[in-house]
Structure 1
Amino acid sequence: MEKSFAHLHVHTEFSMLDGAARVKDLVRAVAGDGQPAVAITDHGVMYGVVDFTKAAADAGVKPIIGIEAYVTPGSRFERPPRRQDTRYHMNLLATSETGYQNLMALASRAYLEGFYYKPRMDAELLAEYSEGLVATSGCLGGHVPQLLAPDASSEEGNRDQIRDFDAALEAASMYQDIFGKENYFIEIQNHGIPAQAAIMDDMLSISKRIGAPLLATNDSHYTYADEADAHDVLLCIQTGANKSDADRFKFDSQEFYIKSAREMRALFPEDEFL
């Protein structure tokens, strides 16, 4: 019997103009593949929680509530000039009722206290509400990946950075201290994007250096592979661009869908990553 897999980095229609996955389609897809659970991690919001938990219950799938947070390395109260505003992505997942309550508090205070183009959290806020949460290093827009490949994410304005492995290791250690040794994961992804391949060895090294477990995800933004073009249209609407614009923001591959457990195991074979 093949081992199960659960997608823990998933954007739905509630990641406005960025996620194209309808909640009901999402849970049907994972249930149809025999996946026992699935998370939602929408950008900065928890709007989809009620619809998601109901749909997951109907499909017999365990719902995992999460958020892809925007984290500032400074204070959430700071409002720097736009081009100096640095923020990173971080996935947070609730593992208990306390964690769920803390996730709601974080999302609310990020808007009330940290909103500056995006609802931002900082290390102080994360430490205050860390109980019952699992955190990951995130996608290419995460704090650790950005210190390893600062030009990899064109979505966020993280400018004037250079590759700094020691700083990346220090950042990972800081988050591990906040959430606990067993609750901070080094997230690895493979969408066929060169920047992901370029930092993979560094990410694996950091995982070993600090004793952090690995988490393989697909950062899905749509449910089915044939929805990549529709998702691209959403990005055009979000950024006010035309599909024909040569230098517009777009994803660098068409692999950001809910892959089967078999596809994910093929991308991350145990003999290479464990």
Structure 2
Amino acid sequence: MLNSSLKIEDTVRLAVSENVDALAITDTNVLYGFPKFYDTCIANNIKPIFGMTIYVTNGLNNIETVVLAKDNYGLKDLYQLSSEIKMNALEHVSFELLKRFSNNMIIIFKNVADEHRDIVRVFDSHE
């Protein structure tokens, strides 16, 4: 939410008013909002879902991608992936790097063009 005009408290308040039981946070490349998001969700009986938006590249094109932690192992993987991005000043993540951390995450590729479908299928078969 660092790049967003949304405030965590306002978003959670709206979720409560709409009887939402779970809510996700997906900041781009970072996880800075996680502690406040977690505390605010728990205080309002909402299940927090932790994620991150990244841009995955095959070297030529970039695909906006949302990665969500399935469990605490996935949360650890998110922290490791975010650290790799920050330590190496990456604007885009390679498919190979994403695969290293993908076992405990749900991966959502957004607006995948036909020419990228073969690359994305690698993740469909990756267990």
In the TM superposition, 1:1-274 aligns within 5 A as 12=1, 14=2, 16=3, 19-74=4-59, 86-113=61-88, 115=90, 118=91, 120-138=92-110, 140=111, 144=112, 147=113, 165=114, 167-178=115-126, 180=127
Task: Say whether the 8 Å CA contact 2:69–2:105 is kept in structure 1.
Answer: yes
What whole-Å deviation, never above 9, does each CA across 1:50-89 have from its counterpart, x for those lacking one?
A: 0000000111100000000121213xxxxxxxxxx74321
AA matched with 1:94 = A
Return the alpha-carbon distance in structure 1 between the equivalents of residues 56 and 39 of structure 2.
29
Greater strand percent: which structure?
Answer: 2
Report how many residues are paired: 127
TM-score, reference length from structure 2: 0.90
Distance 1:114 1:177 in 2: 29
Q: CA RMSD in A?
A: 1.6
Once residues 39 and 55 of structure 1 are traced to their aligned partners in structure 2, the CA distance between those partners, rounded to angstroms, is 12
* Unaligned stretches of 5+ residues in structure 2: none
Larger Rg: 1
Q: CA deviation at 1:114?
A: 5.2
Displacement, 1:128?
1.1
Q: Describe the superposition over 1:126-178 as per-residue Cα deviations: whole angstroms up to 9, x where unpaired.
A: 1111121000122x4xxx1xx2xxxxxxxxxxxxxxxxx3x243133123134
CA distance in 2 between partners of 1:26 and 1:124 (Å) = 34
Tell me the secondary structure at the aligned position of residue 20 of structure 2. coil
Distance 1:131 1:168 in 2: 21
- One-letter code of the match for 2:24? A
For structure 1, the residue ranges without an aligned partner over 5 or more in a row are 1-11, 75-84, 148-164, 181-274
